[in-house]
């Protein structure tokens, strides 16, 4: 289960990163704010998607950390359960680092490379 959650999170974020990067150069003129307040621009959509993705990843990581902490507390010295809990904690932290790194990379590309502020 841990590997599926981590793999799913990494794949979703990498897909968002690749999709955003690939299409950003094609639709550069649509990234700039539109004059119609009812029509959100691409930058607004990207910010919303990034917020949702990081929020969901944070939620999953906290759930995994709680489960791992419970497993660690109830291990009663069982080496297999302690090892399982330690690995779950490491996977949750790595997942969060990947999520935040992807978020920073996307924002860096949008703000600095595409010159959109």
Task: Indicate the average pLDDT of the chain.
Answer: 76
pTM: 0.59
Taking the domains of the chain in order of start, what are their residue ranges? Answer: 2-18+40-113
pLDDT higher at 15 or 20: 15
> Which segments of the chain does DSSP mark as H helices, in order?
2-24, 28-31, 42-73, 79-108
The DSSP call for residue 67 is H
Q: How confident is the model over 37-93, as pLDDT tens digits?
A: 666 677 778 888 888 988 899 999 999 999 999 999 999 889 999 999 999 999 999
Quick count: other Cβ atoms within 10 Å of Cβ 14? 12
Report residue 9's pLDDT band, with 50, 70 and 90 as the boundaries. Answer: low
């Amino acid at each position: 289960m841990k590997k599926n959650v981590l793999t799913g999170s990494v794949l979703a974020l990498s897909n968002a990163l690749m999709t955003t990067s690939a299409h950003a150069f094609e639709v550069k003129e649509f990234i700039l704010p539109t004059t119609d307040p009812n029509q959100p621009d691409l930058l607004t959509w990207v910010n919303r998607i990034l917020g949702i993705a990081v929020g969901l990843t944070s939620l999953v990581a906290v759930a995994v950390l709680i489960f791992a902490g419970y497993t660690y507390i109830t291990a009663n010295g069982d080496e297999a359960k302690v090892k399982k809990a330690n690995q779950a904690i490491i996977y949750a932290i790595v997942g969060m680092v990947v999520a935040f790194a992807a978020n920073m990379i996307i924002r860096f590309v949008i703000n600095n490379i595409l010159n959109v502020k």
